[in-house]
Amino acid sequence: MNRIINQRFLPDGSGRVCIHLFAHSADGSATTPAGVNGFKFEGARGYIACNPTQSKVTPLVRGNEHLLCTWSDDARAVSCPKCQETAEFKGQMEQLNSLVGSEAAAFAA
Ligand SMILES: [Zn+2]
């Protein structure tokens, strides 16, 4: 049986994958997959920043079609334009920029 992978791309025609921001939150609607990678780890609780009620972040399988939800909890990897407009994304980028700025200032001193 052939599998169909359904991956969303950015609407700008660039061919880049749409990567959402996964915001960690104990009250989040979704849990990332648990797994074993040398040690057992639990899934993380949180939500997709542009769609906080979305309950699944793992591929949704319908017959032979796999609908992918690509995400990262690192704002620097996020390409989704809707996620980039959220307070979660902007707050994380401000924190990252302040860290980079303080490191750059320390290096220049
Ligand atoms: Zn998004």
pLDDT digits (tens, 9 = 90+) for 9-62: 999 999 999 999 999 999 999 999 888 778 888 999 999 999 999 999 998 899
Q: How far apart are CA 67 and CA 5, in angstroms?
A: 6
Q: Which two tokens stand for residue 37?
A: 């990678």
Query: Is the Cβ–Cβ distance between 77 and 21 less than 8 Å?
Result: no
Residue closest to 10 by CA, chosen among 84, 81, 88: 81
Give residue 71 CA to ligand 1 midpoint distance, Å: 8
Domain count, the chain: 1
Q: Which residues surround ligand 1, an ion (CB under 5 A)?
A: 20, 50, 80, 82-83
Give residue 49 CA to ligand 1 midpoint distance, Å: 6
Residue 68 pLDDT class (50, 70, 90 cuts): very high
Give residue 63 CA to ligand 1 midpoint distance, Å: 25
**Helix, strand or coil, per DSSP, at residue 68:** coil
Domain that holds residue 62: 4-108
The whole-number pLDDT of residue 107 equals 67
